Amino acid sequence: MISLNDFLIVSAVLFCIGLYMIVSKRNAIQILIGIELMLNAAILNLVAFGKYDRFFNGGQMFALFAIVLAAATTAVALAIILNVYRQYKTIDPGRIDKLGDE
Amino acid sequence: MSLIQALFYMMSFIALASALFVAATKNLVRSIFMFFVTLFALAGLYVLALADFVAITQIVIYVGGILVLILFAFMLSGKETLNIIAQQRGKFISINKVAAFLLAGLFLLVLLNTFFKVDANHLGWITGSVRANNVITSTSAMTENIGVNLMTKYLLPFEAISILLMVALIGAAHLSRKGEKQ
């Protein structure tokens, strides 16, 4: 039997890898991948705790909702990234420093 | 050590190692493809947590949808994206990375400390649900139960998320159209 602590440790490490990617990377696509890693760590926790709710499936249900939300977020974020690339010819967040009317 | 534990350790090792590779590598294409491996290993972990429906959804939506979207965005955004990474290649340790590493490491310490203090296996509601026989076992089929619950108890979140999905779809299509002004 796998204990809950094992799942928690794996998800904590995944979350911190995602956090590292978000802070250190200088490419919007890699930052997006970091966000996806953090979301997946959260989903792993939801699923691991959802094992203890057989009648209502709360954990699994909200894991499904989180996956759908991640898909929606990614679609919008990638559209934004493409627009930013068209405007600035770069997707380094550090170099995107102008407002729309400048 | 039983087989299921061995599988758990293998899956979590694959997931963590490929995630570390994604974070460490300089090659963007390779990191995207290693992210693919991470997602598959995570789907395996969901199966081991007895959530087979979530695992299938993970493979269909994440691997089939999100990853292809990310690859599309990468291919469409031209070679400027690779130039940024090539510029970084010279310096091994930058201040940026040290700060990020410190932040992630300290956060990991805080999280692990909390987990060991909380002792999740003996939380009140978990022992209660074990006593009430409310635990998913490896023989119980959950897909039908999920479908019934989705249409009864979780109908409001389901509708809210479908509206949000439609809004995101229209927004993404609106954002990525060709501009008429230029």
More confident residue, B18 or A54: B18
| Contact assignment for B51 to A47 by CB distance below 8 Å | yes
| Alpha carbon B17 to its chain's center | 14
Within 8 A by CB and 6+ apart from A19, the residues are: A34, A38, B100, B103, B104, B107
Question: What CATH number is associated with residue A68?
Answer: 1.10.287.3510
What CATH number belongs to B1-90? Answer: 1.20.120.1200
Q: Tell whether the model's pLDDT for residue A18 goes beyond 80.
A: yes
Which two structure tokens, joined as six digits, stand for B169?
Answer: 């779809």
Query: In whole angstroms, what is the distance from residue B164 CA to residue A88 CA?
Result: 29
Whole-angstrom distance, CA of residue B98 vs CA of residue B96: 6
Q: Do B111 and A68 touch (CB under 8 A)?
A: no
Å from B36 to nearest chain A CA?
11
Report pLDDT digits (tens) over B28-40: 888 899 999 999 9
Residue pair A93/A31 in contact by the 8 Å Cβ criterion: yes
Tokens linked to B146: 């999920």
Name which residue leads in pLDDT, B179 or B141.
B141
Tell me if A52 is assigned to some domain. yes
Q: How many CB pairs under 8 A join A and B?
A: 245
Decide if A10 and B73 are in contact by the 8 Å CB cutoff.
no
Is there a domain that residue A102 lies in? Answer: no
CB contact under 8 A, B70 and A65: no
Minimum-distance CB partner of A10 among B12, B134, B154? B12
Angle between helices B3-24 and A28-50 (to 10 degrees): 160
Output the pLDDT for position B150: 92
**Closest to A29 in 3D by CA, of B68, B81, B27, B40:** B81
pLDDT at residue number A84 = 85
**From A14-18, A21-25, B77-81, the region with the lowest mean pLDDT:** B77-81
Its domain, for residue A54, covers 4-95
Q: What is the per-residue pLDDT across B77-110, written as a single tens digit (0 to 9) for each?
A: 766 666 655 555 555 567 778 889 999 999 999 9
Asked whether residue B144 carries a pLDDT value surpassing 60, the answer given is yes
Residue A44 lies in a domain: yes
Kindly state the tokens that stand for B50. Answer: 């007895």
Q: Is the pLDDT of residue B115 over 70?
A: yes
Does residue A100 form part of some domain?
no
Res B179: pLDDT: 64
* pTM of the shown model: 0.90
The runs of H, that is alpha helices, within chain B are: 3-24, 28-48, 52-57, 67-76, 80-88, 95-118, 124-131, 143-151, 155-175
Look over chain B and give the mean of its residue pLDDT values, rounded to a whole number.
86
Residue A93 phi, psi dihedral angles, 5° rounding: -60, -25
Domain ranges of chain B: 1-90
Q: What is the mean pLDDT of residues B70-76?
A: 83
Query: pLDDT at position A86, please?
Result: 83
Which one-letter amino acid corresponds to residue A96? I
Domain assignment present for residue A101? The answer is no
- Per-residue pLDDT reduced to its tens digit, B4-17: 999 999 999 999 99
Q: Please give the pLDDT value at position B91.
A: 55
State the pLDDT confidence band at A64, using cuts at 50, 70 and 90. Answer: very high
Residue type, B156: L
Contacts of B99 in chain A (CB under 8 A): 23-24
What is the predicted ipTM?
Answer: 0.91
Q: Taking CB atoms and an 8 Å cutoff, what residues of chain B touch A12?
A: 108, 111-112, 115
Query: How high is the mean pLDDT of chain A?
Result: 89
Distance CA B53, CA B58 (A): 9
Number of domains in chain A: 1
CB-based contact, A20 to chain B, within 8 Å = yes
Arithmetic mean of pLDDT, B113-133: 88
Surface-to-core class of residue B63, CB atoms within 10 Å of its CB (0-12 exposed, 13-18 middle, 19+ buried):
middle
